[in-house]
A and B are shown apart, each in its own frame.
Chain A
Amino acid sequence: MSAAPNSGLMAESLKDAAVAAVLVAVLGFFFLALRTDIGTGGLDLTYRWGLWFAAIAIVFGVRLLLNLFIFKANKPVTSGMSVALPAGLLTVIGRFLGPFLLAVAAVLPFLLMYLFPSRDRQFIDLAILIMTYVMLGWGLNVVVGLAGLLDLGYVAFYAVGAYSFALLAQYLDIGFWTALPLAGLLAATWGVILGFPVLRLRGDYLAIVTLAFGEIIRVVLLNWYEFTGGPDGISGIPKPSFFGLEFERKGGFADFFGLDYDSIHRFIYLYYIILGLALITNFVTLRLRKLPIGRAWEALREDEIACRSLGINTTNTKLTAFSIGAMFAGFAGSFFATRQGFISPESFTFLESAIILAIVVLGGLGSQIGVVIASVVMIGGIEVLRNLGFLKEIFGPDFEPTQYRMLIFGLAMVLIMVWKPRGIISSRNPSAVYKERKKISSDMVAQGEGH
């Protein structure tokens, strides 16, 4: 390679990196270099020039390296990294990934107990959390992925489910297994009530109205003190029993089966409950996709006007998608309530809706496996940050890695979307086959309402 393009590359990269550094200097000045804190007699201003310069230097350096080796380089170093897997292997992976994940999920608690005997409780709890998001993602996938209805208030139905069970338990002394279907039914009813007036709105407007509904429900839960306990929430929500057996030290599950009492039994039991609920969600969704109703949802996502010209009642079709999605959220909500034992409106903020939506979109709209991958990456990824205590030794004792969780989560949302706007798994499986099953590339699949 001749020297001329190289020096040009260097100059260009330097210039670009300098621009980035100046930008960071400008953006960061009031946030990194200056800091306001409540002091004696008002706000104090502290100066942190070191931090500011460090940020500028890091951005300059990183950007320069990226420019030299990836962005502007003739032969980016990453070109060797993206090894194209042979198509045959991909199909094999695609075919066995689902069953493999299912098998792992089926034995996961015992796997964790075997692999991490000292931290099994924590990991099973994390698995429960991830599985809850998988279920929520699958539920929302019906609404957003299949029917193409952008719902930013999904957490409202999660809240309805959780509060239904909590209130039923509190006022009527109803147990988890009885309350579960009721909670799903109530959430679905709310889905119909909220959905009916708004489902004819175009995509973005629908999104913002569902967001508003989500917030209204949260604010009502927060302020209806006599009924919902307001910000104090509801505590003492009963745990699920195993065919009438409680997970207690005396006379419970362990005694009945002649086991030594161990609080981990309950964790494992909760894990299998949410696994079962999630699998039901998955099974029902996959079945519905192959039924006329599911096909109508997808057709609706593709072209609503064409649907109407074919005699499909689009309002009812949207409502079924909306309420079925809500029902799954209701189930997940009552599971959440029984798992936590305590709920308050704080658990049902817009951020929660955003996370679930992000899981669905990042996973690839309509893709069931995609939701699993995205949940593991996003939720599991966040939790990993909790365990980065060793960073304290590098950055000093004031460094608190957990506070960067949401910052990194947000950045990941942006980066993954820019990298793969269609999500991780972006092909569609046809719902009916004449001769030969072919995957449909997402470039052809429409995204729903409006555009």
Chain B
Amino acid sequence: METAMKTTSMQSWDDNVVLSVEHLTMRFGGLVAVNDLSFNVGRGDITALIGPNGAGKTTVFNCVTGFYKPTEGRIVMRHGKSFQSEKIEALTRTGRQFNDDGDDRVFLLERMPDFEISKRAKVARTFQNIRLFGGMTALENLLVAQHNPLMIASMMTVGGIFNLPGYKKARAEAIDFAAYWLEKTGLIERADDPAADLPYGDQRRLEIARAMCTRPHLLCLDEPAAGLNPRESTELNDLLQYIRKDHGTSILLIEHDMGVVMEISDHVIVLDYGQKISDGNASHVKNDPKVISAYLGVDEDEVAAVEESIDTQNGEGGQS
């Protein structure tokens, strides 16, 4: 019955899509990291991408955020609410990167350079091995994330040099916005401390805060709960729920911690060897025999625990 539901009836994430990955293939030389993968990310959903180590999850992330150029496939980001398939087809034919009409913009991410994806398509990300600006303070980290609007406010630096009032105001607002996210992530007390000085869990949250400072429509989190203790995991859940509810930001996350995944995800996609083996809500995926066999027939939590320990040893274990 579950399988039937998956294939026939439309799920909520297929009704209002923010990101669709279509026939994505990524090869490194002879290695096929991702093979003909398609899935949709629903607007306002928390979508989880799970799978054993080496399943290609991070590769998918890197394709979505432009760090890798996919070998084949299309990745569409929609800012507008409608499905917009005609507009997307027209855009695909033109060879342009995005369609610039008002609020209903669509972006073909596989054509865009990485920084444009964050700047225009409003897709933000965090990294599996945290990439903060370690020598800069937490506040500075969040200000860097507001680079593009601040650049415009500083009139490409000219107005900033002379400290014109327009820039002063924008700067104060940027600091307020950063303070808002520091507050939300519980880091406001550490605002003036260098990022490298923060404990691990704080760094994870700071990275999320930094990504949110780009005002994204879609937030991609690469193992946000890795290395967190149970209390921090719970806080993370709350934070993600808050981001989704109060900011309407859709979330796509890679996670090994099945506790986190099952609790907060509206939609779970399971990868194995670069292919999708299951796609549905948490309870659907949990009971999918393919998923259970992919995890060696063992209880998921056990597998996850083992994998997590492997991951922390290898650092980038899930990459290839």
Contacts and interface: CB of A to CB of B under 8 A. Distances in A.
B91 interface: no
B65 interface: yes
A307 interface: yes
B273 interface: no
A226 interface: no
Interface in A280-317: 284, 287-288, 291-293, 295-296, 298-299, 302-303, 305-314
Interface stretch (A244-252, A264-272, A339-347, A426-434): A426-434
Contact of A309 (B124, B134, B146, B151): B124
A444 B197 contact: yes
Contacts of A437: 192
Contact of A307 (B66, B67, B144): B144
A292 B211 CA distance: 17
Nearest to B66: A308
Nearest to A314: B115
B319 to A, nearest CB: 13
Interface in B186-212: 188, 191-197, 210-211
Contact of B137 (A307, A314, A430): A430
B200 to A, nearest CB: 15
Interface residues of B, number: 48
B139 A432 contact: yes
Interface in B169-200: 175, 178-179, 182, 188, 191-197
A449 to B, nearest CB: 14
A440 interface: yes
- Most chain A Cβ neighbours within 10 Å, of B119, B124, B151: B151
> SS class of chain B's interface: helix, strand, loop or mixed?
helix
A310 B154 contact: no
B134 A446 contact: yes
A95 interface: no
A135 to B, nearest CB: 18
B192 A298 contact: no
B191 A435 contact: yes
A54 B244 CA distance: 78
- Most chain A Cβ neighbours within 10 Å, of B66, B115, B117: B115
Contact of B133 (A288, A298, A433): A298
B14 interface: no
B197 to A, nearest CB: 7
A431 B140 contact: yes
- Most chain A Cβ neighbours within 10 Å, of B139, B144, B178, B191: B144
Contact of B214 (A292, A305, A310, A440): A310
A416 B191 CA distance: 34
Interface residues of A, number: 39
B114 interface: yes
A269 B312 CA distance: 63
B147 A305 contact: no
B87 interface: no
A107 to B, nearest CB: 28
B144 A287 contact: no
B132 interface: yes
B157 interface: yes
A398 interface: no
A295 B175 contact: no
A302 B194 contact: no
B80 interface: no
A336 B222 CA distance: 53
Interface string B134-155: 1111011001111110110010
Contacts of B195: 444
Contacts of A430: 136-137, 139-140, 192
B250 interface: no
Contacts of B79: none
Contact of A296 (B114, B118, B147): B147
- Most chain A Cβ neighbours within 10 Å, of B135, B151, B179: B135
- Most chain B Cβ neighbours within 10 Å, of A287, A299, A309, A428: A309
A310 B145 contact: yes
List 4 A-B pairs, minimum CB-CB distance, nearest first. Answer: A445-B135, A311-B119, A311-B118, A434-B191
Interface of A: 284, 287-288, 291-293, 295-296, 298-299, 302-303, 305-314, 320, 428, 430-438, 440-442, 444-446
23 contacts: A284-B161, A291-B160, A292-B160, A293-B154, A302-B132, A307-B144, A308-B114, A308-B118, A309-B127, A309-B211, A310-B115, A310-B118, A310-B144, A311-B119, A431-B140, A432-B140, A432-B143, A434-B179, A435-B191, A444-B134, A444-B195, A444-B196, A446-B133
Interface of B: 65-67, 114-119, 124-125, 127, 131-137, 139-140, 143-148, 150-151, 154, 157, 160-161, 175, 178-179, 182, 188, 191-197, 210-211, 214
Given A303-B131, A438-B194, 4 more contacts: A293-B154, A302-B133, A306-B133, A432-B175
